[in-house]
Every structure is written in C-alpha cells, then in structure tokens.
Amino acid sequence: MTAKILVSACLMGHAVRYDGQARPLVHPALDRWRQEGRLVTICPEMSAGMPVPRLPAEIEPGRSADEVLSGTARVLESNGGDVTAEFRQAAENALALAIETGCAYALLIDGSPSCGSGFIYDGSFSGRRRPGEGVTAALLRANGIKVFSDRDIDALVEAAGFTD
Ligand code: SF4
C-alpha cells in the first residue's frame, strides 16, 4: 500500500489559521497526491476544539515542543492564557489520524506552534523566529513519521519516491 501524507489544512486552502486565513500551497505534486487519494488533511488545533479566529499562541520563551509534550513547558496565548492542554490534544489527534490512515509522511506549514518543523516564534509575540518545531510536528517525529515543511515539498517528493 502506498504511504499517505498528513497535511496541514491551511496548506490545502482551508481558512483555519488563528487569523482566519489560509496559506494555500501550489505545487504539482500536491495536485497529483490529491488525485491519488494520498492526502489526509487535518488542522490539529481545530481538531482539539480551538475556534477560528483565535488568539495567536507561542511556546513559552526558551522552551521546546518536547518539553510541552512532557508537561514541563507551556503554550501561551498572546493574553497569557494557557492553551497547553489544547495543543497537546491537537498533537495526539494528528498522531492518531496519521496512524489510523497509514501516513508515513507529513507536510506541515512551518512557523506554527503546532505544525512548525524548522522554526517557530520565540514566545515574545514580537515576530522573532527561532529554530524549533511545533508540538504536533514533534509528536509525529517522535513516533517515526517523517515531517517536511511546506518549503521542503521537493525533498518530500524525493524521499517519498513519488517522482514521475
Ligand atoms: S494548526 Fe496547523 S493546520 Fe491548523 S491552522 Fe495552524 S498551522 Fe494550519
């Protein structure tokens, strides 16, 4: 059976981001995978009951997604609200769906406190980036799912062996 690919809903054009927007990704491989039924779309945060729009949230400064998953760091909204439980539930939901549907790969939008895989924001809500990953990306990777960012879709094409 051909491995499927878990994909961020906002990359697929769904307006589910915290600001009510989408970030559609245009690439011929996405069109082909969609036609072949290989894409499994999820917004982890919405799956955990978070609304659209919602306040921006970031992992607290200097802490990692792994620490969020182990219960030693928090995810906070811009007003200080603690949404750690929702972000952990979001990650669990994404992992459960990936396992249930046979996803060996994930294509997630970078920068998100859930879906980021190369960088996230530094927790100060000032727009500063730092290297790191979101909570969902970290849990997927910890369970053997190969995560690629939207910027690395060509690497996913190569790794997944889907080239024509
Ligand atoms: S949780 Fe992921 S899929 Fe949902 S809006 Fe944020 S980046 Fe997009």
Does ligand 1 lie within 6 Å of residue 16's CB atom? yes
Q: What is residue 49's predicted lDDT score, i.e. its pLDDT? A: 98
Burial readout 60-71 (b: 16 or more C-beta within 10 A, e: otherwise): beebbbbbbbee
| Residue in 17, 77, 120 to alter for ligand 1 test, most ligand atoms within 8 A of Cβ | 17
Does ligand 1 lie within 6 Å of residue 10's CB atom? yes
Output the pTM of the full model.
0.97
Residue 140 sits in which domain range?
4-160
Taking the CA of residue 17 as reference, the ligand 1 atom at the shortest distance is: 5
Q: Give residue-wise pLDDT tens across range 121-135.
A: 999 999 999 999 999
Give the distance (Å) from ligand 1 centre to CA of residue 17. Answer: 6
Q: What is residue 2's predicted lDDT score, i.e. its pLDDT? A: 80
Q: What is residue 1's predicted lDDT score, i.e. its pLDDT? A: 58
Q: What is residue 43's predicted lDDT score, i.e. its pLDDT? A: 98
**What is the total count of domains within the chain?**
1
Give the distance (Å) from ligand 1 centre to CA of residue 73. Answer: 20
Q: Which of 27, 4, 16, 3 is nearest to 112 (CA)?
A: 16
Whole-number Å distance between alpha carbons of 4 and 89: 22
Taking the CA of residue 116 as reference, the ligand 1 atom at the shortest distance is: 7
Q: What is residue 152's predicted lDDT score, i.e. its pLDDT? A: 97
Does ligand 1 lie within 6 Å of residue 30's CB atom? no
Burial (CB count within 10 angstroms: exposed 0-12, middle 13-18, buried 19+), residue 1: exposed
pLDDT < 50 positions in the chain: 163-164
Provide φ and ψ at 137, rounded to 5°.
-60, -40
Average pLDDT of the chain to the nearest whole number: 96
